[in-house]
């Protein structure tokens, strides 16, 4: 029944009720007023009905985007698993072999991919037209994010099918797919779905989502990371492994940090009274760009800084501070009302951290190869007249640092991802 039929039925019922209540015996003026009230009431009913329908549509959309477990689930015994995979960085593809290991037919699946085993895979990769896979609307890759992959033929129990995804990412906001951020696929999640035979609607299987870590699956070439101006390995010494000789020393007012075992040889563990200093780094730095990458476990305090409070009444340079739950990065114009770039997360375990900045541009924080946060940077120069670069500064730092590198330029997101991959691979 259409909207007109519903409206007519409601009006007939209204008229019958009014007749029983003696409405039609009222004077003409009162009748007109009551008819207006009935019309307003019907309008409100229709408005509420439309709002309910729109809410259902929005909920269905968000359920797919946010991977929210549906209210109506698939039949018990519906399942799909990853049998094998093949990755080709030259072709920019990942081929999945999927098997229906359940008791019921599977019509399609909702796949998400990730480049970090510490995080849930959330990236949706683009797929081209192929004999085994189409979009939910029958067109491969059409109208994302509304069409997760659908098998060209229903995948029956025991059957295996191969499907191909590219290294391009489907954006939830729409538009053309973009090259994915990560070089290596490290995990994926597969959620099968069935289709209601009566309504044709998709029913995601919320209770049988399969999550799997993946090894050595490179789907794109990494960007070349430029040579740093300082590279401290901390493998039992404080020497700079570049040819520039930016070695570290212990300040007279500080204690020497302790060398401890780490995931890459050795690292330096700092207490409140420990610190290190490089007294010639300024000669090799850029006035307007900087990037610093390292591994760390953070308890609290300022990890490193380079500031000069004596120039023009404005503190120039940079500082990174934080604790086990967040990092705060400030560059140029310290004390001039500039906002910190704050990245929240779990930092009391080993994390690879990269901070970048450019004068008049942006300062950014990356964690484990992935972008975390950015803020605008002031116009004060990054380089200061103070030659000292401090690790475990005068304010005290408690935590562990390893494999620290400094560049005199702003690394790109691709270079940061490649740097992280060079460690984890």
On whether both 14 and 142 belong to a single domain, the answer is no
Q: Which residue has the tokens 């690292």?
A: 267
pLDDT value, residue 275: 92
389 and 286 in one domain?
yes
Locate 27 and state its tokens.
Answer: 């004077």
Domain shared by 292 and 420, yes or no = yes
334 in any annotated domain:
yes
Q: Are residues 368 and 300 in the same domain?
A: yes
Q: Would 199 be classed as within a structural domain?
A: yes
SS3 category, 296: strand
221 located within any domain: no
pLDDT under 50: residue ranges of the chain: 1-7, 18, 23, 26, 28-32, 65-71, 139-146, 335-337
Per-residue pLDDT, 404: 97
Residues 350 and 394 reside in one and the same domain: yes
- Pair 194, 242 in one domain: no
Helices 28-65 and 3-20 meet at what angle, rounded to 10?
Answer: 140
At 134 the pLDDT is 79
Quick one: 95 and 41 in the same domain? no
Tally Cβ neighbours within 10 Å of residue 141.
18
Q: If 0-12 CB within 10 Å is exposed, 13-18 middle and 19+ buried, where does residue 29 land?
A: exposed
Residue 414 within any structural domain of the chain? yes
Asked if 195 and 264 sit in the same domain, the reply is no
> Who's near 187: CB < 8 A, 6+ residues apart?
113, 114, 116, 117, 121, 211, 212, 213, 214
Instruction: Domain count for the chain, please give it.
Output: 3
The parent domain of residue 192 ranges over: 81-213
Closest CA to 358 of 318, 304, 311: 318
Clarify whether residues 353 and 311 are in a common domain. yes
At residue 207, the pLDDT reads 80
Q: What is the pLDDT of residue 317?
A: 79
Same domain assignment for residues 134 and 31:
no
Same domain? 243 vs 207: no
239 and 153 in a common domain: no
């Amino acid at each position: 029944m259409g909207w007109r039929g519903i409206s007519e039925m409601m009006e007939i019922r209204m008229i019958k009720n009014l007749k029983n209540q003696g409405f039609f015996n009222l004077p003409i003026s009162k009748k007109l007023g009551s008819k207006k009230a009935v019309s307003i009431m019907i309008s409100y009913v229709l408005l509420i009905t439309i709002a309910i329908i729109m809410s259902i549509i929005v909920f269905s959309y968000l359920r797919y985007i946010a991977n929210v477990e549906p209210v109506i689930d698939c039949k018990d015994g519906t399942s799909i698993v990853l049998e094998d995979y093949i990755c080709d960085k030259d072709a920019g593809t990942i081929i999945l072999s999927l098997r229906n290991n359940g008791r019921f037919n599977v019509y399609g699946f909702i796949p998400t991919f990730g480049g970090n085993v510490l995080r849930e895979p959330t990236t949706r990769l683009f797929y081209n037209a192929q004999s085994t896979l189409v979009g939910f609307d029958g067109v491969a890759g059409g109208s994302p994010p509304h069409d997760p992959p659908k098998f060209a033929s229903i995948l029956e129990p025991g059957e295996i099918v191969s499907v191909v995804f590219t290294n391009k990412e489907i954006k939830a906001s729409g538009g053309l797919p973009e090259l994915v951020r990560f070089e290596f696929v490290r995990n994926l999640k597969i959620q099968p779905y069935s289709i209601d035979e009566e309504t044709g609607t998709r029913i995601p299987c919320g209770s049988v989502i399969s999550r799997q870590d993946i090894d050595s699956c490179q789907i794109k070439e990494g960007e070349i990371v430029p040579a740093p101006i300082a590279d401290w390995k901390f493998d039992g010494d404080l020497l700079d492994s570049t040819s520039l000789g930016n070695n570290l020393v212990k300040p007279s007012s500080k204690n020497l940090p302790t060398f401890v075992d780490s995931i890459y040889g050795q690292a330096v563990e700092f207490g409140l009274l420990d610190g290190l200093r490089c007294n010639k780094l300024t000669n090799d730095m850029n006035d307007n760009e900087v990037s610093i990458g390292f591994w760390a476990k953070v308890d609290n305090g300022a990890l490193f800084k380079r500031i000069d409070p004596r120039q023009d009444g404005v503190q120039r340079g940079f500082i990174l501070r934080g604790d086990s739950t967040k990092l705060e990065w400030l560059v140029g114009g310290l004390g001039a009302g500039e906002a910190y770039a704050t990245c929240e997360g779990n930092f009391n375990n080993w994390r690879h951290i990269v901070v970048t900045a450019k004068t008049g541009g942006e300062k950014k924080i990356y964690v484990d190869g992935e972008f975390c946060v950015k803020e605008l940077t002031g116009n004060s120069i990054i380089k200061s007249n103070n030659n000292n670069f401090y690790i475990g500064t005068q304010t005290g730092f408690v935590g562990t640092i390893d494999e620290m590198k400094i560049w005199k330029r702003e690394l790109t997101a691709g270079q940061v991802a490649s740097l992280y991959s060079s460690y984890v691979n």
